[in-house]
């Protein structure tokens, strides 16, 4: 493999930046009153003063809570190399208490080069953890517990939370518990005894402002002027980016995008889609890339499902819709077939098929989740007699049929009538 | 050294197998898997080959390649979704074959619970193959997501180290099947089936956030799903993967797909001109159309002596007119093409009882599976018991045999018409009624005695002598009734519905459609219409 073409290199570089959270959030956290500095202040004071602390990071999904925390932890590990150790837990994986204690014990063992036995019981693990906390407290070493998906730990009996917070209060320990959650009321989920031991510090992650995002865009897309790229290419690329971002149409695209999405992660996904569409021959981005990325993010799955239907399936959908319009509160396959026959008798359509073919069409619609059974019980009936319901609205059906490739005109007429 | 938990399966052996000693050793175990096995394996193919293999998927293939990016390009998770048999899995695998990148493929259809899924992925990454020497066990035992994350991280770092050292040695352009690049792709197929698993929503959320949990940029995740991404939205949120949609094929694409690999493209394209449009109105799925077309095409080619000729307009018209009578019944049937009008030689084998006509429509009224006579009567009795209200039994099955229509003369007022309509609707919604076993047996006895006389007449036409007289037929019909009932239940013609706690007897419900009941009655020459209650 000879040298890569510069377009591929720049693509690799930008995509690598997009998938690397620390690159993205460092400039966003540069100012002094950002969440990054607040968090860093709290944790570093508790390290230097040797006290316990607990914080919650709250914000919608994709606003960079874990990324900012990783930045803070990385900086602290550099600053205090020997007096910090980090234990990471995730609510998705470790919500079961046994699992959680085992994982904490395993990570502690790895940190301190001890032997870990998978056969240790729950009691042994918890004694071990408390003993380690005491030892680290005596040695002035702070343990930072990072609890991702904090609300999942708050389900059930909250044993893990209670034991951690209780150990922090009773034992001579130095520990910081940082919880990350996308539920804004995560602290309301705590039990009384846990909540009393929890210091109610919360850091809220709000969506970034437009200026910050513009700055982020530039930061992401400008290529560095180093020697690995051909010299003219870098300046051409950066000029093109400047042209695009100052274009009014681009600002419109961004405005449409931000009407629906507000978090940083969705913005990154948008840029990722746009950058992947880069023309590899010219190696430059263009406005069309961004337009195409925007339309790919505005999917309408129900419309796509209706457009994929065959003509027979459209007939069945129209029959069901007509039964709904006639205010029949519940209908099943047999009643739909009656309506189908009635349509055929009055309009003499060419599309009248036998019952088993229609059952097959029904099954296809049910697989695609366009219709479903109305109740889950009633298993003793065959599928023909169970009540069904439509999962798409009338307007979606209308739109889908109008954009269908070969929808017969009579169906549209039947739907409107 | 931490103690490794082995996952050997303890095998229980029967006495006979324990006594038999294995004679030959395992013949030539194939080589243990290496890092090269992570690629597709066969020779790599060019992009043009991929594009020509999948007509109609051009834009999706390009989109997918662009999303994968050039070599060693980190990627966000991708979700590919579309209807059934739209080519999602095959496109993904062929594109990875073309790009020659190492991947791990696992389908949630074959790995039907989390443990098997996790172990299958780990086996592939740890280059472990199940064979008899290790007792067909996996490399590591793993059934919880927490263990899976730790083991996956270890296995991935090993694989990536191997890939990096391998890529440092040889970086040739030749497509020789060796994996290129330092990234590994994880492909999970049929992700929509996870929704039906135990704790399925947790597993789904775990899979969708796998990349942020692992934080390894060298892993690219591709999820293939039959359902659109909005089906997975639940209370627990996650960041969506990047969607890529595979729409159903249009008619043009279907034509190109069916024309591939045909021995005589011109003939087949003439055939498609005749049938494709009408069948596309019913269904656009490739697997359903291909079964119908293969049998129809055989029928289409029957009048031709030489299958290699290309037809001119006149011949096309003649072939079409030959095929035309088969198309309409085939549209109304799934998986089957009627063959009776063609089979002249089997005419002699037909039994004289069954009325035979050259019309295709008649053939649909003949019962196409065999049932014993008593079972047929039982089926009809069950159908009648489900359809008729119990209060009418006495008048229906009295000695005059059948309901008479004297009561129809009264003019129906509007209110009673409305009531009738509503009652009809309710009846349709409720479905067939349930009946106790005693009622079924009573009705069965009535109609079997009716049918007895006609049965006796037909028997006189046959040659066999019956020394014991008509009693034997009667006894034959009444024996083993309960056995017949249970076999009808197994065949799903009857189902057991809930039992009434007061009465204590089991109630049954007939699941037979009216068409089938008519066919059965016709085969017995039983006047079913006389006994059916029509509102």
- Concatenate the DSSP letters of all residues of A291-342 into one string: HHHHHHHS--HHHHHHHT--HHHHHHHHHHHHHHHTT-S-B-HHHHHHHHHH
User: How many Å apart are CA A159 and CA B373, to the nearest integer?
Assistant: 68
Report how far residue A87's alpha carbon sits from residue A105's, in angstroms, rounded to the nearest whole number: 9
B346 within domain boundaries: no
Number of domains in chain B: 3
Q: Looking at the structure, do residues B373 and B399 belong to the same domain, yes or no? A: yes
- The answer to whether residues B257 and B249 touch, using CB atoms and an 8 Å cutoff, is yes
- B-chain CB neighbours of A8 within 8 Å are 70-71
**Same domain, residue pair B411 and B520:** yes
Q: Which residues of A touch B225 (CB under 8 A)?
A: none
Please give the Cα distance from B341 to B362 (Å, whole number): 11
Average pLDDT (A129-155) is 89
Q: Determine what percent of chain A falls in helix, strand and coil, rounding each to the nearest 5.
A: 60, 10, 30
On whether residue B100 sits in a domain, the answer given is yes
Q: Which residues does A103 contact at the CB level (< 8 Å), separation at least 6?
A: A89, A93, A94, B146
> Which CATH number belongs to the domain containing residue B66 in this structure?
3.40.50.300
Residues of chain B with C-beta less than 8 angstroms from the C-beta of A16: 73-74, 217
Whether the Cβ atoms of residue A92 and residue B206 lie closer than 8 Å to each other: yes
Which pLDDT value is given to residue B185? 92
The Cα of B474 is separated from the nearest Cα of chain A by a number of Å equal to 34
Pick the residue with more confidence: A34 or B23?
A34
Stated pTM of the model = 0.82
Taking an 8 Å cut-off on Cβ atoms, the answer to whether B83 and A354 are in contact is no
Beta-carbon separation of A93 and B145 below 8 A = yes
ipTM of model: 0.89
Residue where a domain terminates, one of B246, B266, B294: B246
Interface contact flag, B66 A296, Cβ < 8 Å: no
Beta-ladder partners of B79: B223, B243
Q: Does pLDDT of A405 surpass 70?
A: yes
Rounded CA-CA distance A369/A28 in Å is 42
Alpha carbon A374 to its chain's center:
30
Answer yes or no: do B224 and B306 share one domain: no
Terminal C-alpha separation, chain B = 81
Q: Answer yes or no: do B95 and B218 share one domain.
A: yes
Contacts of B172 in chain A (CB under 8 A): 1
Q: Which pLDDT does position B181 carry in this prediction?
A: 80
pLDDT (tens place) for every residue of chain B, 535 residues total: 333 344 445 566 667 655 655 555 444 455 667 767 777 767 778 888 888 888 889 999 999 999 988 888 888 899 999 988 888 999 999 998 888 888 999 999 999 989 999 999 999 888 888 888 778 888 888 888 888 999 999 999 998 888 888 776 655 554 455 777 888 999 999 999 999 898 888 899 899 989 888 888 889 999 999 998 888 887 777 778 899 999 989 888 899 988 888 888 888 888 888 888 888 888 888 888 888 888 888 888 888 877 777 778 888 888 888 888 888 878 877 766 555 444 333 343 343 333 333 333 444 567 777 888 888 888 888 888 888 887 887 777 776 555 555 455 556 678 888 888 877 777 777 778 888 888 888 888 888 777 665 544 444 444 444 444 444 455 555 567 888 888 888 888 888 876 666 766 778 888 888 888 888 888 888 888 888 877 5
Q: Which among B339, B370, B386 is the end of a domain?
A: B339
Specify the length of chain B in residues. 535
Distance from the A274 Cα atom to the nearest Cα atom in chain B, whole angstroms: 10
A3 has a pLDDT exceeding 50? no
The verdict on a CB contact (< 8 Å) between A310 and B75 is: no
Tell me if residue B495 falls in helix, strand or coil.
Answer: strand
Locate the chain B residue with the closest alpha carbon to A93.
B146
Residue B349 lies in a domain: no
Task: Looking at the structure, tell me whether residues B236 and B267 fall in a common domain.
Answer: no
Residue where the block lists tokens 């016709």: B522
Choose the closest CB to A62 out of B67, B239, B429: B239
In a domain, B199, yes or no: yes
The reported pLDDT for the residue numbered B165 is 84
**Nearest C-alpha of chain A: how many angstroms from B329?**
9
A109 φ/ψ angles, rounded to the nearest 5 degrees: -65, -40
Burial class (CB in 10 A: 0-12, 13-18, 19+), B418: exposed
Minimum-distance CB partner of B74 among A19, A335, A387:
A19
Of A8, A308, A354, the CB nearest to B83: A308
Q: Do both B104 and B241 map to the same domain? A: yes
Nearest 5°: phi and psi at A88? Answer: -115, 130
Beta-carbon count within 10 A of B362 CB: 13
Q: How many CA atoms lie within 13 A of B337 on its CB side?
A: 21
Q: Nearest-CA neighbor of B520 among B389, B354, B346?
A: B354
How many helices, marked H, and strands, marked E, lie in chain B?
A: 21, 8
pLDDT at B13: 63
- Do both B30 and B48 map to the same domain? yes
| CA–CA distance, B8 with A405 (Å, rounded to integer) | 57
Q: What is the pLDDT of residue B235?
A: 72
| Judgement on whether residues B295 and B315 belong to the same structural domain of the protein | yes
Domain end marker among B196, B217, B246: B246
Residue B348 lies in a domain: no
CA diameter of chain A: 90
Q: How many CB atoms lie within 10 A of CB B342?
A: 12
Residue A261 in this model has a pLDDT that exceeds 60: yes
Residues B418 and B517 in one domain: yes
The residue among B73, B154, B518 with the most chain A CBs within 10 A of its CB, best to mutate, is: B73
Torsion of CA B35, B39, B41, B45, to 10 degrees: -140
The answer to the question of residue B353 being in a domain is no
Q: Alpha-carbon torsion B304, B310, B314, B319, what sign?
A: positive
Lowest mean pLDDT among A177-186, A377-386, B10-19, B53-62: B10-19
Residues B233 and B365 in one domain: no
In a domain? residue B347:
no
DSSP letter assigned to residue B497: E
- CB-CB under 8 Å, B284 with A92: no
Among B514, B491, B521, B515, CA closest to B364: B515
CB contacts of A271 in chain B (<8 Å) are: none
Domain of residue B156 covers 3-246
Write down the H helix ranges in A32-191: 35-49, 65-79, 91-94, 97-111, 122-138, 150-153, 159-170
Give the pLDDT of residue B1: 39
Residue B350 falls within a domain, yes or no? no
d(CA B154, CA B126): 9
Which chain A residue's Cα is nearest to B81? A301
Sign of CA dihedral B57, B60, B66, B68: negative
Residues B182, B49 share a domain: yes
Within 10 A of B85 (CB to CB), how many other CB atoms are there? 18
SS3 B488: helix
Record: contact A355-B495, CB cut-off 8 A: no
Residue of B nearest to A273 (CA): B67
- Partner residue facing A277 (CB), from B66, B173, B243: B66
Residue position matching structure tokens 């904090």: A150
Q: Which of A19, A311, A356 sits opposite B281 (nearest CB)?
A: A311
Q: How far is B478 from chain A (nearest CA, A)?
A: 29
Residues A293-309 have a mean pLDDT of: 87
Do B321 and B362 belong together in one domain? Answer: no
Asked if A340 contacts A320 with a C-beta cutoff of 8 angstroms, the reply is no
């Amino acid at each position: 493999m000879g040298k890569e073409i510069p377009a591929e290199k720049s693509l690799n570089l930008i995509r690598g930046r997009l998938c690397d959270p620390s690159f993205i959030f460092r400039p966003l956290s540069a100012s002094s009153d950002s969440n990054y500095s607040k968090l860093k202040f709290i944790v570093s004071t508790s390290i230097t003063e040797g006290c316990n602390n607990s914080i919650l990071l709250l914000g919608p999904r994709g606003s960079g809570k874990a990324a900012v925390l990783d930045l803070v932890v990385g900086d602290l590990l550099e600053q205090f190399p020997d007096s910090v150790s980090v234990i990471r837990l995730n609510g998705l994986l470790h919500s079961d208490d046994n699992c959680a204690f085992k994982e904490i014990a395993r990570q502690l063992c790895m940190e301190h080069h001890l032997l870990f036995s998978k056969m240790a019981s729950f009691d042994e693990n918890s004694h071990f953890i408390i003993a380690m906390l005491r030892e680290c407290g005596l040695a002035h070493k702070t343990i930072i517990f990072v609890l991702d998906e904090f609300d999942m730990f708050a389900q059930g009996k909250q044993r893990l939370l209670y034991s951690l917070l209780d150990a922090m209060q009773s034992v001579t320990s130095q520990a910081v518990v940082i919880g990350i959650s996308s539920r804004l009321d995560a602290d309301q989920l705590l039990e009384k005894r846990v909540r009393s031991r929890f210091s109610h510090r919360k850091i809220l992650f709000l969506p970034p402002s437009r200026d910050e995002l513009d700055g982020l865009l530039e930061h992401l897309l400008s290529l560095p002027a180093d020697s690995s790229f051909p010299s003219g290419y870098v300046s051409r690329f950066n000029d093109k980016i400047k042209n695009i971002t100052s274009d009014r149409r681009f600002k419109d695209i961004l405005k449409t995008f931000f009407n629906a999405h507000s978090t940083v992660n969705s913005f990154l996904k948008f840029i990722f889609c746009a950058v992947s569409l880069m023309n590899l021959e010219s190696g430059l981005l263009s406005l069309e890339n961004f337009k195409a990325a925007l339309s790919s993010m505005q999917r309408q799955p129900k419309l796509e499902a209706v457009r994929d239907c065959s003509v027979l399936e459209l007939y069945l959908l129209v029959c069901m819709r007509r039964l709904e319009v006639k205010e029949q509160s519940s209908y099943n396959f047999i009643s739909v077939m009656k309506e189908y026959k009635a349509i055929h008798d009055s309009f003499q359509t060419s599309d009248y098929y036998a019952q088993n073919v229609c059952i097959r069409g029904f099954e296809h619609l049910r697989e695609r989740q366009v219709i479903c059974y109305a109740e889950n019980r009633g298993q003793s009936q065959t599928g023909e007699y169970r009540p069904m319901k439509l999962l798409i609205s009338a307007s979606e059906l209308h739109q889908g049929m109008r954009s269908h490739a070969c929808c017969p005109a009579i169906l549209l007429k039947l739907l409107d009538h | 050294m931490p103690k490794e938990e082995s996952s050997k399966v303890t095998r229980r052996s029967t006495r006979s197998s324990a006594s038999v000693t294995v004679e030959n050793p395992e013949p030539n175990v194939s080589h243990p898997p290496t890092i090269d096995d992570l690629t597709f394996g066969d020779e790599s193919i060019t992009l043009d080959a991929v594009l020509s293999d999948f007509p109609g998927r051009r834009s999706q293939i390009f989109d997918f390649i662009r999303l994968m990016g050039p070599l060693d390009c980190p990627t966000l998770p991708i979700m590919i979704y579309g209807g059934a048999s739209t080519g999602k899995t095959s496109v993904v695998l062929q594109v990875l074959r073309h790009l020659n990148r190492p991947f791990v493929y696992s389908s949630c259809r074959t790995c039907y619970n989390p443990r098997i899924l996790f172990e299958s992925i780990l086996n592939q990454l740890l280059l472990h193959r199940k064979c008899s020497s290790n007792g067909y066990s996996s490399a590591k035992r793993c059934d919880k997501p927490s263990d899976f994350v730790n083991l996956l991280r270890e296995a991935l770092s090993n694989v990536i180290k191997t890939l990096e050292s391998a890529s440092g040695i040889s970086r040739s352009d030749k497509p020789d099947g060796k994996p290129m690049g330092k990234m590994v792709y994880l492909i999970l197929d049929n992700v929509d089936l996870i929704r039906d698993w135990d704790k399925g929503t947790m597993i789904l959320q775990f899979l969708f956030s796998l990349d942020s949990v692992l934080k390894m940029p060298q892993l690219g995740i591709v999820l293939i799903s039959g359902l659109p991404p909005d089906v997975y939205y639940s209370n627990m949120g996650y960041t969506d993967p990047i969607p890529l949609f595979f729409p159903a094929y249009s008619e043009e694409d279907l034509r190109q797909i069916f024309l591939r690999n045909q021995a005589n493209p011109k003939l087949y394209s003439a055939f498609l001109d005749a049938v494709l449009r009408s069948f596309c109105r019913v269904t656009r799925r490739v697997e359903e159309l291909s079964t119908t077309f293969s049998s129809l095409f055989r029928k289409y080619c029957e009048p031709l002596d030489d299958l290699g000729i290309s037809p001119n307009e006149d011949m096309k018209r003649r072939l079409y007119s030959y095929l035309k009578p088969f198309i309409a019944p085939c549209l109304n049937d799934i998986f089957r093409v009627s063959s009776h009008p063609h089979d002249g030689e089997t005419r002699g084998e037909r039994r004289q009882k069954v009325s035979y006509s050259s019309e295709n429509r008649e053939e649909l009224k003949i019962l196409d599976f065999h049932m014993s006579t008593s079972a047929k009567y039982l089926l009809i009795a069950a159908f009648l018991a489900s359809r008729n209200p119990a209060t009418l039994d006495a008048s229906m099955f009295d000695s005059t045999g059948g309901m008479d229509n004297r009561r129809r003369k009264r003019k129906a007022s509007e209110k009673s018409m409305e009531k009738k309509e509503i009652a009809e609707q309710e009846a349709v919604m409720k479905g067939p009624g349930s009946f106790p076993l005693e009622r079924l047996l009573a009705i069965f006895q009535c109609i079997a005695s009716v049918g007895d006389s006609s049965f006796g007449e037909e028997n006189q036409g046959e040659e066999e002598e019956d020394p014991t007289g008509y009693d034997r037929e009667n006894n034959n019909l009444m024996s083993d009734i309960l056995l017949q009932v249970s076999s009808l239940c197994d065949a799903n013609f009857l189902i057991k519905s809930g039992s009434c706690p007061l009465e204590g007897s089991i109630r049954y419900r007939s699941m037979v459609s009216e068409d089938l009941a008519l066919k059965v009655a016709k085969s017995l020459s039983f006047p079913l219409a006389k006994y059916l209650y029509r509102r």
